[in-house]
Amino acid sequence: MGATPPNGNEKSHRPDISSREKHMKKRIHQSCPDPQPAAGRRSRCACGLLAVFAAAACLTFGACAAVGPDYVRPQDDPPTAWHTDLQKGLSEAPADPLTLSRWWVTLNDPDLSRLVERAALGNLDLAEARARVREARARRGISTAALFPVLDASGAATRSRSSENRGSGETGNFYTAGFDAGWELDVFGGVRRSIEAAEMDLQASQEELHDVMVSLLAEVALNYVEARTFQARLDVAEANVVAQEETFGLTRSRYEAGLSSELAFQESLFNLESTRSQIPRLRAGLEAAKNRLAVLLGEQPGAVHAELAERRPIPLTPLQMAVGVPADALRRRPDVRRAERSLAAQTARIGVATADLYPKFSLAGGIGLESLAAGDFLEYASRTWNLGPSFSWNVFDAGAIRRNIEVQSALQEQALMRYESALLIALEEVENALVAYAEEQFRRESLTLATDAAGKAVQLAQEQYKAGLVDFSNVLIAQRSLLTLQDELAITEGAVTGNLVRLYKALGGGWRSMAGGDGGGDVWKPKAS
Mean pLDDT value of segment 491-505:
95
| pLDDT value, residue 45 | 45
Tell me how far apart the 2 most distant CA atoms of the chain are, in Å.
135
Q: d(Cα 339, Cα 518) in Å, to the nearest integer?
A: 17
Q: d(Cα 169, Cα 18) in Å, to the nearest integer?
A: 58
- Residue 104: band (very low, low, confident or very high) from pLDDT cuts 50, 70, 90: very high
Identify which of 370, 274, 248, 298 has the alpha carbon closest to the alpha carbon of residue 117: 298
How would you label 46-63 residue by residue, b for 16+ Cβ within 10 Å and e otherwise? bbebbbebbbbbebeeeb
| pLDDT value, residue 430 | 95
| pLDDT value, residue 513 | 60
Q: Decide if 220 contacts 109 (C-beta within 8 A).
A: no
Backbone angles phi, psi at 496, to 5 degrees: -60, -50
Q: Between 190-256 and 262-276, two packed helices, what is the crossing angle to 10 degrees?
A: 160
| pLDDT value, residue 528 | 38
pLDDT in tens, 276-324: 999 999 999 999 999 999 999 999 999 999 999 999 999 999 989 989 8
How would you label 361-397 residue by residue, b for 16+ Cβ within 10 Å and e otherwise? bebbbbebbebeeeeebeeeebeeeebebeeeeeeee
pLDDT in tens, 375-417: 888 888 888 999 999 999 999 999 999 999 999 999 999 999 9
What does the DSSP assignment read for 357-396?
GS-EEEEEEEEEEEESSGGGTTSGGGEEEEEEEEEE----
Amino acid at residue number 128 = E
Q: 3-state class of 90 per DSSP?
A: strand
Which residues are CB-contacts of 465 (< 8 A; sequence separation ≥ 6)?
A: 471, 472, 474, 475
What does the DSSP assignment read for 297-330?
TTS-TTTTTTTT-S--PPPPPPS-EE---HHHHH
Q: d(Cα 346, Cα 341) in Å, to the nearest integer?
A: 9
Identify which of 281, 312, 358 has the alpha carbon closest to the alpha carbon of residue 2: 358
Q: Give the CA angle between residues 52, 57, 58 to the nearest 5°.
A: 100
Residue 140 has pLDDT above 90, yes or no: yes
How would you label 92-124 residue by residue, b for 16+ Cβ within 10 Å and e otherwise? eeebeeeebebbbbbbebebbbebbbbbbeebe
| pLDDT value, residue 197 | 96
- Residue 473: band (very low, low, confident or very high) from pLDDT cuts 50, 70, 90: confident
Residue 10 has pLDDT above 60, yes or no: no
Q: Which residues pair with 367 in a beta bridge?
A: 179, 385
Task: Of 14-28, 78-92, 104-118, 167-181, give the lowest mean pLDDT range.
Answer: 14-28
pLDDT in tens, 352-375: 999 999 999 999 999 999 998 888
Mean pLDDT value of segment 78-102:
89
Predicted model pTM? 0.81
Classify residue 177 as exposed, middle or buried by CB count within 10 Å of its CB (0-12, 13-18, 19+): middle
Q: d(Cα 478, Cα 498) in Å, to the nearest integer?
A: 30
Classify residue 474 as exposed, middle or buried by CB count within 10 Å of its CB (0-12, 13-18, 19+): middle
Q: d(Cα 92, Cα 320) in Å, to the nearest integer?
A: 11
- Residue 514: band (very low, low, confident or very high) from pLDDT cuts 50, 70, 90: low
Amino acid at residue number 458 = V
pLDDT in tens, 432-456: 999 999 999 999 999 999 999 999 9
Pairing of strands 321-322, 90-91: parallel
Identify which of 159, 156, 249, 189 has the alpha carbon closest to the alpha carbon of residue 61: 189
Q: 3-state class of 274 per DSSP?
A: helix
**What is the overall mean pLDDT for the chain?**
84
Residue 250 has pLDDT above 80, yes or no: yes
Task: Of 58-62, 100-104, 252-256, give the lowest mean pLDDT range.
Answer: 58-62
Q: d(Cα 103, Cα 443) in Å, to the nearest integer?
A: 24
Q: Which residues pair with 371 in a beta bridge?
A: 175
| pLDDT value, residue 38 | 39
Q: Decide if 15 contacts 356 (C-beta within 8 A).
A: no
- Residue 339: band (very low, low, confident or very high) from pLDDT cuts 50, 70, 90: very high
Mean pLDDT value of segment 411-434:
96
pLDDT in tens, 166-179: 767 788 888 899 99
Averaging pLDDT over each range in 6-15, 28-37, 110-119, which range is the top one? 110-119
